[in-house]
Structure 1
């Protein structure tokens, strides 16, 4: 029976999932583990901090089908928990590997650095369980292989992050390599044929009774790799075809029946009317709980107005036809095989402004609609661009971010420069948090940001790499001129564009949604005051 080190087994499993780059920051409890990473043909990115690494792993997973990051016990892993939680909320399959103190030290309750000084070592593990599909700390050599495979299979099945702790005295212990011969489960189990047939029959019957059905492609259809299937459904039926903010960038917008982005009150009047007058809606991969609850940003702060009775809600593990629920799966590979000419990554609020933008075929755009973590766009883009580059699909990468988000994680420029992504980074500089100003505190000092020299950033984080700055661009004429510039269009090096906007400059969709949010908050604040 062939033997292999625990760390080698883990990294070879990642390689089997087509993971070629692992994100993270080296720390003393993980250094011995990192010595093994190259043997599996995987590179370690080496990020500026763990928060950036976790965002990058999220972005990498969205294009590659799975992502990974490595941190060290305590402060390192806690720094990454924000990104880990975002991956959980947004159904992104990421394995978070954490280098732990030795098993003996933990069993003896030795007071070790990076702990809370109590002799207990499970507090961080208990925290992460709330935002993980599965977790393990490899303290027993007899179960290490089974624990690794269980967690990775859970990650793929649920399309959510998992957590694997590797103590320093376990990474080089020997285990059987036989498990590597059994493939990880990269496909969901097939549906029960009788149930599937019944559900299909119900849907066909429902469609036959209505005169104006529409299709809405939501974010989870993109996460589940169903983009090609939903496009084909739209082509075959010819039904009016829409997406949500979370699903934007998935559907083929070149289809003649594609109608745009529906987000309740944040929709343009024609899209709002077209969707809400439908007598049947095939809602693919909606982000909602089983009964009625849905997410605020994706529904225009709960202003969507589609009757539950007309919705055919098709999810990863169930399909609901009106009031009838059926437990089904979505058979098929997890990997998103969509070809891509461009990748556009946005912060959550910028996605509203991009809703009316028509994307060419082959262009993938995504944002973090649910978790909406500030600082997400840049590091996530680095992960996404790297995944696309490794697969040969990246022709041009575009990041659209506000200066508020960028100021939290500007070190991501170092990753984009050293990995030679050649992105175009649009920084929307409006002297603060415009979305927050529109919601509340229009003139409040807390919505103002310090002034940065954005031209200097590219030099600070990549002095050895070519880059170019354009700006500050303050007029539409200047911007139009830049877009026509042949050198700019070739995207041969890292390019940063600073667009200076008025403090309250925002598209209509953003104004409508922020107004709905303020109204929602005020209503609930008034209710709480009366209750008190």
Structure 2
């Protein structure tokens, strides 16, 4: 054991910085004010948002780019508001550190009814035990440092959220650290890894058309460069899942596009499903990744390796890590594939605007495709913002962020704040429906306050367009806001109201040159207009809904 002069709060800040966290998102409250003061006086920048859910989504996007993010809120009234965003981070493997203030340990004598308390003092802790991979209540300065190390190591190892509860009387208490610091490093069993590689290489080398399906875990664990090296060595074509979009350079000649079963481009579906060796790397087998289970992938021809599972055909291998498996493939004697052309996304062409032509979803995404450049990151909300955006031509790695599994509406606008804080050189292009915008769009106030400049495209189709084809009714309607006038309310930013293709072209051009603040482009669309991918998705979901009635 080794003594230190650091307080518990100061040590937590030091360790967050060691993991690459330079920003903390949150909303203050009395149980966490003293820690907010420590953050303010530290090198970490505090970005306090309009609402806790906005802070949680921002921290999630930050973590997807930086490798770890943090959200700081007060007890219960703040903490329970980020339960939803933490659930998304868990489901989609995003290492967010949830830091919650709490009543002091010296305030809990005889179980008083303190404000914000729900039932018992550990009620919030019990909630987050279900949503995280590790939790800690820092109620003892003598063990607090080791507890901080333990949960942060778990966040890094498993790429999932963790929870730290900080009673307010402990923040400035002097703690004691134990060295060496706790780390979680799990190594593959060498014999099992060797056997798995032998079977995998044999299957690859005897196949006529191997293909790689790259997933989101390659994003989360920073394995994109290993994937790129594997493709260069083997020349095996690669597709991505919708949640893993932008994990591989989309300009590369061996890139096929997004595979999402019957929801995706037909040529991609045909190529992947006709393969006699599909190598799934870091892909979660969710209904969304698999096109609402329209995917036709045969297990006997599959190599499936994720951080928590490895199977080859009908054989399962325990204790083999994703990174070490890919490294093993790189060292193996794999037959290089020919340079025979494969299906490839069309490079964006110059968009030919038709004057006075009403905007449609299809033409909107074609125009956006021509607009994107190397310095943008696309942040999409669920719905047509996501499914239409899946066919956008993304220019760099980790440049497409969307909750394509948990699918919580309201992600995109606050996520743009987290994305730009994590990578200031990138300008977010936000795609969001009007229904989702009404949930968290006011976070543009936060963007304005902190000098951020996202371009926000609101797809105004008068309600929840994803749900209308499944089951329509007045419950899918929302009040028609004048979205383009929001900058007048906030006193910053510029807004555009768009009905036609030429108006959209002019708005995009002006937004591109206006970099001092955010730009909001409200695009009016017919309520029944949607992308072909969304039609296929909602049709499949509608069948499920009606089959259960």
**TM-score, normalised by the number of residues in structure 1:** 0.89
Pick from 88, 99, 102: which aligns with 2:101?
99
Counterpart of 1:300 (choices 259, 281, 291) is 291
2:463 to 432, 444, 450: 432
Which ranges of structure 2 fall in alignment gaps of 5 or more residues?
325-372
CA distance in structure 2 between the partners assigned to 1:6 and 1:35 by the alignment: 13
- The Cα shift of 1:493 comes to 3.2
Cα displacement string for residues 421-479 of structure 1 (whole angstroms, at most 9, x for unaligned residues): 211111100011111002221xx111111011112222323x2x4x22122x1222332
Q: Kindly indicate whether the alpha-carbon contact (under 8 Å) linking 2:92 and 2:403 is maintained by their aligned counterparts in 1.
A: yes
Counterpart in 2 of 1:503? 527
Assess if the C-alpha contact under 8 Å between 1:152 and 1:184 holds in 2.
no
Kept in 1, the 8 Å contact 2:149–2:181? The answer is: no
Q: CA shift at 1:203, angstroms?
A: 1.1
2:232 matched to which residue of 1? 235
Please report how far the alpha carbon of residue 270 of structure 1 lies from its aligned counterpart in structure 2 after TM superposition. Answer: 1.4
Q: Relative to structure 1, is the Cα distance of residues 112 and 487 closer, same or farther in structure 2, using a 3 angstrom cutoff?
A: closer
Equivalent residue pairs, number: 497
Is 1:447 matched up with 2:476? yes
Q: Kindly indicate whether the alpha-carbon contact (under 8 Å) linking 2:413 and 2:430 is maintained by their aligned counterparts in 1.
A: yes
1:375 aligns with 2:413: no
Aligned partner of residue 469 in structure 2, secondary structure: helix
Question: How far has the Cα of 1:124 moved from its partner?
Answer: 1.4
Q: 1:477 aligns with which of 480, 502, 506?
A: 502
**Aligned match of 1:336:** none
8 A contact 1:69–1:96 mirrored in 2: yes
Which position in structure 1 is the counterpart of 2:156?
156
* Counterpart check, 1:206 vs 2:203: yes
CA distance in 2, matches of 1:428, 1:501: 7
1:210 Cα deviation after fit = 0.9
Cα distance, 1:498–1:506 mapped onto 2, change above 3 Å: same
For the residue of structure 1 that corresponds to 2:289, the secondary structure is helix
Q: Paired residue for 1:57?
A: 59
Report the counterpart of residue 420 of structure 1 in structure 2: 451
Secondary structure at the aligned position of 1:266 is classed as coil
Correspondence for 2:34: 32
- Give deviations 1:182-241, integer Å, cap 9, x for gaps: 5664x8443233332222221110111110111111122222212222222223222221
Kindly indicate whether residue 321 of structure 2 is the aligned counterpart of residue 329 of structure 1.
Answer: yes
Secondary structure of the 2:399 match is strand
Is 1:123–2:118 an aligned residue pair?
no
The answer to whether residue 393 in structure 2 is matched with residue 347 in structure 1 is: no
SS of residue in 1 equivalent to 2:262: helix
Match of 2:370 in 1: none
Q: Whole-Å Cα distance in 2 between the matches of residues 229 and 521 of structure 1?
A: 41
Q: Verify the 8 A CA contact 2:132 2:160 in the aligned structure 1.
A: yes
Aligned counterpart, 1:17: 19
The offset of 1:178, in angstroms, is: 6.1
Equivalent position SS for 1:458: helix
Q: Quote the residue 2:194 is aligned against.
A: 197
For residue 278 of structure 1, give the secondary structure of its aligned residue in structure 2: coil
* Contact 1:9–1:177, Cα closer than 8 Å, also in 2: no
Q: Which residue of the partner structure matches residue 280 of structure 1?
A: 277
Where 1:76 maps in the other structure, the secondary structure is: coil
Shift of the 497–39 alpha-carbon distance from structure 1 to 2, 3 Å rule, reads same
Counterpart CA distance in 2 for 1:283 and 1:498 is 39
CA apart distance, 1:56: 0.8
Deviations 1:263-300, CA, capped at 9 Å, x for gaps = 11102221111111111101111113xxxxxx222211
Change (3 A) 1:491 1:505: farther
CA distance in 1, matches of 2:26, 2:107: 24
- Residue equivalent to 1:460: 489
The CA deviation at 1:107 is 4.3
Structure-2 change in CA distance of 1:404 and 1:221 (3 Å):
same
How far is the alpha carbon of 1:95 from its aligned partner? 0.8
Alpha-carbon distance between aligned partners in 2 of 1:378 and 1:317, rounded to the nearest angstrom: 32
C-alpha change, 1:363 and 1:143, in structure 2 (3 Å) is: closer
CA distance in 1, matches of 2:97, 2:390: 31
Distance 2:410 2:165 in 1: 26
Q: CA deviation at 1:177?
A: 5.1
CA contact (8 A) 1:151 1:162 kept: yes
Worse-matched range after superposition: 308-317 or 24-33: 308-317
1:300 aligns to what SS in structure 2? coil
1:176 offset after TM fit, Å? Answer: 2.6
Corresponding residue number in structure 1 for 2:542: 518
Q: CA RMSD in A?
A: 2.0
Equivalent position of 1:402 in the other structure: 433
The two structures have a TM-score, normalised by structure 2, of 0.87
Structure 1 Cα separation of the partners of residues 158 and 541 of structure 2: 31
Q: How does 1:68-83 map to 2 (within 5 A)?
A: 68-83=70-85
Distance 1:340 1:317, change over 3 A: farther
Could you tell me which residue of structure 2 aligns to residue 529 of structure 1? none
Taking the aligned partners of 1:236 and 1:222, their CA distance within structure 2 comes to 20
